[in-house]
Amino acid sequence: LLQSSVSHNPSEITLIYFGDGENCEFETVFVLKDFQAPEYSFLYKNDNRILGPPAVMHCASKGEPLPFSSRPLYSMTMLNLSLCFTGFRKKDEVVTLVNLVHHMGGTIRKDFDSTKVTHLIARSTHGEKYRLAVCMGTPILTPEWIHKAWEHRDDINFHAGNEEFRTEFKVPPFQDCVLSFLGFSEEERTNMEERTQKHGGRFQAVGDERCTHLVVEENSIKELPFTPSKRLYVVKQEWFWGSIQMDARAGETMYSYEKSPAMKKAVSLLSLTTPNSGRKRRRLRETLAQLTKETEISPFPPRKRPSSEHSLSMGSLLDISNTPDTCKSKNARLPKSSTPALPKQSARWQVSKELYQTESNYVDILATVLQLFKYPLDKEGQVGGPILAPEEIKTIFGSIPDIYEVHTRIKVDLEELVMNWSEERSVGDIILKYVKLVKAYPPFVNFFEMSKETIVRCERQKPRFHAFLKINQAKPECGRQTLVELLIRPVQRLPSVALLLNDIKKHTSDDNPDKVTLEKAIESLKEVMTHINEDKRKTEGQKQIFDVVYEVDGCPANLLSSHRSLVHRVETIHVLCLVLFLFNDCLEVKLSFFVTAPLLLSTDPPPTFLHNAKAPSGSPKQCHYMKDINLDFWSCLWC
């Protein structure tokens, strides 16, 4: 307990101890509310044990003894957190921050040790500590995080390590960076400039002396318009998008406009994930420490800019009269590793080979979707945390893995058939063998629009996902196609297969048993496509019913039924607004009265529509309407 004079002069402060100072049964602890008061300075200089009320309350709530610390401890706000600092130039600022961390129960480490440091506090995105923290997935935060945590020091239930709290204080990837952009269209440049500012950086015109980075569109720029200074980083655009994706500044050397071959050996040693085992972490840490002495590092390996061989077109849905361009591409090539080296064959073999070629291309597209997009998004331990939520990933990719598995088997069988060809071999049997497995298609096709909408929404709302798409869609495997354009291929595939089977049937003699088999295969595919279309219509119909239920206030929930479908919607306007929803087994009526006719031309929000289940005599049993409607008007309308 501390008693001080009114003058608050440290020299006049007297200490009153309750208990015998010579008795080891007692420990003297001073509990102070204000760590800025003169009493605090006096006690601290005299090596007294000082605690804050939150620290005492925390221990009391946990039933734990008071912590023994040589440093004053106000709260447990940063208990078990170990911080390291980088990029600070003012010693006074660091001293202030270190004291606050100690007051909140945290610890400070001078050197960055990824096994012990939990957070890096950075004033700059330069330096070895920053690069190691990025690679190891250690959170990198601004000093404001410490100050804000200190404001919460009196809340014993608050902890500064809470992810939701600390997210606000992440060091943006382009902090301390001034970017310029060369070789991009005006629309692309504007987009990149806006994202530069959003992620903590600034931008200037190309050639401005204040620029720290020149981001180059490497496909359109063959040489720079000027000789860059030694302090100017000249990088490919993948550095820009990669930094946004992992929410940290990527190492420039790996993305240099003139790529350094010395870094190639380092690429395979780096990973986007944080190692789980201590042994792996130590080995990677040693490797990283060695690499940082030689050159800059980044968890993103460099990628070559794609040179597309073809353009994937957006086609119609399951319309057998409309085939994708690749299905009728007579110049489509087999993969070099599996191209059958056979002499000139019959027309039937030629079309069968084309079926195999398109199947092989299709499987490659599905593999690209999975390997470049789905699997990385599913991967645990992503730098900066998950890019998308699990439900969003499921909505986007749906049953693509199942579709890929089925068509991989079909590809293997078609390859064996083409390489060991004879006119008696049956193409139709292969299709019939797997036709039941194409049940994976309906759920994907039916919800393709929802998948597309989810991609558009997430790309607009989540900068890291936008950057993720930019990086991967630029890779050669994508053929310059967007994820949406790649995902429409399953929608197109079955109609194209049916058309190719028709072509094979035309070149099959009547006495060939495969003629009948092909007809069965074509018919089976048509049934599957019909089922998909019917399923799609049902899905859309159910959505329309949901819309009706949401639109009519008080609409009964039992209107939702699997056997019910919306037939037609009719809107009429008189002195009231009336809308009829005609279903296959009932009629729903929504209406709202207008006070005066001029209101019909009003720009105000539309009136609220109500529902009441009481029906007039002689009306259909399930007809829903408002109870105060004029019955004569209702009879006239019903007639």
Determine the pLDDT at residue 606: 47
CA atoms within 13 A on the CB side of 396: 24
User: Do 406 and 439 belong to one domain?
Assistant: yes
> Alpha carbon 405 to chain centroid distance?
25
Question: What backbone torsions phi and psi does residue 432 show, to the nearest 5 degrees?
Answer: -65, -30
In a domain, 288, yes or no: no
User: Do 465 and 373 belong to one domain?
Assistant: yes
Q: Where are the alpha helices (DSSP H) in 137-235?
A: 144-151, 163-166, 186-198
In a domain, 499, yes or no: yes
In a domain, 25, yes or no: no
| CATH code of 241's domain | 3.40.50.10190
User: Do 219 and 354 belong to one domain?
Assistant: no
Widest Cα–Cα separation across the chain: 117
User: Do 183 and 161 belong to one domain?
Assistant: no
3-state secondary structure 479-507: CCCCHHHHHCHHHHHHHHHHHHHHHHHHC
User: Do 157 and 202 belong to one domain?
Assistant: no
In a domain, 638, yes or no: no
Determine the pLDDT at residue 25: 67
Rounded average pLDDT per 10-residue block, the chain, 639 residues: 42 48 70 90 88 93 85 93 93 94 94 88 90 89 96 94 91 94 94 94 94 92 89 93 91 77 37 46 52 42 39 36 39 44 73 94 95 93 86 93 93 93 92 80 83 93 93 87 92 90 93 93 86 65 57 60 62 62 67 44 43 42 40 42
Entry pTM: 0.61
Determine the pLDDT at residue 306: 40
Burial class (CB in 10 A: 0-12, 13-18, 19+), 277: exposed
In a domain, 34, yes or no: no
Determine the pLDDT at residue 270: 37
Distance CA(428)–CA(246), nearest Å, equals: 48
User: Do 422 and 536 belong to one domain?
Assistant: yes
Q: What is the DSSP string of 302-328?
A: --PPP--S--PPP--SS-TT---GGGG
Q: How far is CA 9 from CA 14, 37, 72, 314, 378, in A?
A: 10, 11, 21, 81, 63
* Domain total of the chain: 3
Determine the pLDDT at residue 533: 73
User: Do 516 and 431 belong to one domain?
Assistant: yes
User: Do 130 and 184 belong to one domain?
Assistant: no
User: Do 410 and 496 belong to one domain?
Assistant: yes
**Of the residues 105, 135, 169, the one at which a domain ends:** 169
Determine the pLDDT at residue 583: 66
Helix (H, G, I), strand (E, B) or coil at 610: strand
Comparing CA positions, the residue from 639, 573, 629, 572 lying closest to residue 601 is 573
Helix (H, G, I), strand (E, B) or coil at 561: coil
| CATH code of 387's domain | 1.20.900.10
In a domain, 195, yes or no: yes
Burial class (CB in 10 A: 0-12, 13-18, 19+), 549: middle
List CB contacts of 424: < 8 A, sequence separation 6 or more.
Answer: 512, 513, 514
CA atoms within 13 A on the CB side of 130: 24
In a domain, 525, yes or no: yes
Determine the pLDDT at residue 544: 59
User: Do 419 and 532 belong to one domain?
Assistant: yes
Give me the residues paired with residue 591 across strands: 578, 610
Determine the pLDDT at residue 444: 84
User: Do 499 and 442 belong to one domain?
Assistant: yes
Determine the pLDDT at residue 622: 40
In a domain, 6, yes or no: no
Determine the pLDDT at residue 564: 64
User: Do 158 and 212 belong to one domain?
Assistant: no
**Of the residues 496, 521, 544, the one at which a domain ends:** 544
Distance CA(257)–CA(605), nearest Å, equals: 55
Q: The domain containing residue 539 runs over which residues?
A: 347-544
**Of the residues 128, 151, 169, the one at which a domain ends:** 169
